[in-house]
Amino acid sequence: MLGHRWPSVEDAVLTQARKGVSFSLPTELEEQLASKLVSLVPRMEMARFGKNGVDVVNAAVRIARAATGHSTVWMEEGAYHGHSDWALTAPKDGGIVPMAGFRTRRFPRGDLQALREGMRDEARGPACVLLDPQPAHNPSPPKPGYFREIRSLCDEQGALLILDEMVTGFRLGWPGGVSTFGIDCDMWCGAKALGNGWPITCLLGKREYMTRIEQDVFYSTTFAGEAVSIAAAIACLDEMEKLAATNAVNETGAAIRDWYNETVKVFELSGLTRTIGYDSRPVFVWKDKSHEAAFTEGVVRGGMLFQGYINVMVAHERAWPEITGALTSGLEAVQAALPLPAA
């Protein structure tokens, strides 16, 4: 989110590494980070930490099942919520055996009618709806009122609403979809931008649900409280606030998109390519797969590791020549691959 080896984060990491990494009991750092996060994300009251997105998303789903007494998880088609058996979709489904009591149902993004009818027909009752506010595979914002209606359906059916903001947290808005779209969720899962590259994830939630971990829901990972990554996250959040980092990366991303759209016209490639997604994560799409392949290869040859999108960092503001140079290299590669005009 900030940039590689960001000084304040690196200082926090080195200082904590000298004090120790993992301890037998929780550290004050955990309380500091938890307090900071619940002050940032509206309506959240307690926090737990993990190392991978699947750690905290699994915990959220387990809490929802315990709190509601129901088992079904609803999520949007194509959404990725980790590698748990209940969450995976084809084609890589080897080794997954359907288990009694575990049920996942999917609905098309934006199709409130499908979700409404499905939840009302659910004989055993839904435990939760799990959403990525703006998923990478389909980053177009939904219609106004979409999340508000899902909240109403959850309340009607006694289900919890869980946000998985591994990618969008602190990037889509500050701190994420909760503020950007005004989503009232029961639990919030975040990662990636949180640690500026250090491995840490968080689960935030309303007290009535999070206290289930102290009662009847088991959640434990060896390195959840690993102190170096927690120190990195505290420093990263401090820096993000000081720099208004979310605004900064969105402004840089918007500038990249504007530059790209204008440059495409110069290369006479209009109609073949466009950008989609939110400003801090512009995605470059092509109508023709061969053009997309040529573009990607050209960008990489131009010096930028690239797989079709840019996760904008604060440091990218200073890397403008390198970014535009690499993208230009990609456009030149497409232009070279196009058939020559007829004589």
**Four-point Cα dihedral 308, 311, 313, 315, nearest 10:** -20
Q: Angle of helix 227-243 relative to helix 7-19, nearest 10 degrees?
A: 160
- Taking every pair of C-alpha atoms in the chain, what is the biggest distance, in angstroms? 78
Question: 183 in the Ramachandran plot: left (φ > 0), alpha (ψ -120 to 50) or beta?
Answer: beta
- DSSP code, position 216: T
Which of these, 333, 339, 316, 332, lies nearest to 249 by C-alpha position? 316
Q: Per-residue pLDDT averaged across 74-97, rounded?
A: 82
pLDDT, one tens digit per residue, over 9-64 is 999 999 999 999 999 999 999 999 999 999 999 999 999 999 999 999 999 999 99
According to DSSP, the β-strands at 126-131 and 283-286 are unpaired
What pLDDT sits at residue 280? 94
What pLDDT sits at residue 139? 83
According to DSSP, the β-strands at 201-205 and 46-50 are antiparallel
Q: Per-residue pLDDT averaged across 259-273, rounded?
A: 96
All domains in the chain, ordered by first residue? 7-243 (3.40.640.10), 245-337 (3.90.1150.10)
Q: Please report where in the chains the tokens 């690239």 appear, as a residue.
A: 306
What is the band of 276 on the pLDDT scale with cuts at 50, 70, 90? very high
What pLDDT sits at residue 36? 98
Strand partners, 162: 130, 187
Cβ atoms of 170 and 240 closer than 8 Å? yes
Cβ atoms of 211 and 16 closer than 8 Å? no
Is the preceding omega at residue 142 within 30 degrees of 0, hence cis? no
